[in-house]
Amino acid sequence: MRIGLLHPGAMGASIGVSLLASGHEVGWVSEGRSHDSCNRAKQFKAFIALDDMSVWADGIMSICPPDAAIAQAQAVYSTAFDGFYVDANAIAPNSAKKIAQMFGAGAYVDGGIIGPPALGAGTTRLYLSGQHAARVADWFTQGFLQAIALPASGHANAIVAASSLKMAYAAHSKGSSALLLAVNALAASNGVSEALKAEWDISQSGLNQRSVVTAKVTSPKAWRFAGEMLEISETFKTQGLSGAFHQGAADIFSSMAELKDQPGADLDQVISKILGSRDSPDSER
């Protein structure tokens, strides 16, 4: 098959490699993309414009920042594309439903990726849902990515089950990272960092080390996590639950946005970004 990738970011390019390994042709669109994306896409077939790739592709996979997912879908929908459209972004079920309505249930397959870019065996899963989820899962016969079609259920959100699963998973994984970094910033702001570290060493073994690792791992991607947290907040609100926790997580990640693509920052740098974004702390009032 001919599969178009929008776009070859760290995750998208790794999925493209699994598609190549499975015997497919993989296309991408160079217009507007950065040097990094161009470098990652060298092994794929280049198209200058989306219109050109859309008439070539049997399927298109959208793997981009979550807050660009709907605009990306609209751009594809406005072309002559008539294959399967797979949105594999970390977006709220309601956002995924908007895209499903655009393409129709016969052409839309919902996706949710769990794990890092698929560069090794057993690390990364692409969950799929919708009428043709199993067909898209069958695209991945080789390569490192494991594609899993979720069983159809009678739930009203069945078509977007993959996005629902991703939201629940990331609500904990990234939400707890934001909480841990916020707690470190709070302790620093109140002058009790060393005391907290000492207490954690006694009663919460591993949290000090986890704070350091979390700062390093999340800082280059925090700019993108902010949009994902807002999608998770919406997901909670849609189910009548409070979205405030992940709204707060979005604020924490937004405050770290300047660390984008820099090699992992240390905990003190992250704390200073978080504290630098404060409105007016009590001490200054």
Q: How far is CA 33 from the centre of its chain?
A: 18
* 3-class state of residue 126 by DSSP: strand
- Residue 144 near residue 124, CB atoms below 8 Å: yes
Which one among 68, 182, 186, 212 touches ligand NAP, defined by CB under 6 A?
Answer: 68
Residue 180 C-beta: closest distance to ligand NAP, Å: 18
The residue with its CB nearest to ligand NAP is 9
Looking at 6-14, 131-139, 157-165, 238-246, which segment touches ligand NAP (CB under 6 A)?
6-14
Q: Within 13 Å of residue 257, how many CA atoms lie on the same side as its CB?
A: 11
| C-alpha separations of 45 from 19, 56, 119, 147 in Å | 13, 11, 20, 23
Q: Is 65 in the site for ligand NAP (CB under 6 A)?
A: yes
Report whether the peptide linkage leading into residue 132 is cis, meaning its omega lies within 30 degrees of zero. Answer: no
Distance (Å, rounded) from C-alpha 53 to C-alpha 76? 10
Distance (Å, rounded) from C-alpha 29 to C-alpha 35? 13
Q: Is 234 in the site for ligand NAP (CB under 6 A)?
A: no
Q: Is 265 in the site for ligand NAP (CB under 6 A)?
A: no
Looking at 30-38, 52-60, 77-85, 191-199, which segment touches ligand NAP (CB under 6 A)?
30-38
Which one among 3, 90, 165, 207 touches ligand NAP, defined by CB under 6 A?
Answer: 90
Count the residues of the shown chain that bind ligand NAP, applying the rule CB under 6 A: 23
Residue 36 C-beta: closest distance to ligand NAP, Å: 6
219: left (phi over 0), alpha (psi -120 to 50) or beta: alpha
Give whichever of 72 and 164 is closer to ligand NAP, judged by the CB atom: 72
| C-alpha separations of 190 from 33, 92, 194 in Å | 43, 36, 11
Q: Is 118 in the site for ligand NAP (CB under 6 A)?
A: no
Give whichever of 122 and 191 is closer to ligand NAP, judged by the CB atom: 122
Q: Is 8 in the site for ligand NAP (CB under 6 A)?
A: yes
Q: Is 111 in the site for ligand NAP (CB under 6 A)?
A: no
Which stretches of the chain bind ligand NAP, using CB under 6 A? 7-12, 33-34, 36-37, 63-66, 68, 72, 89-90, 113, 116-117, 224, 228
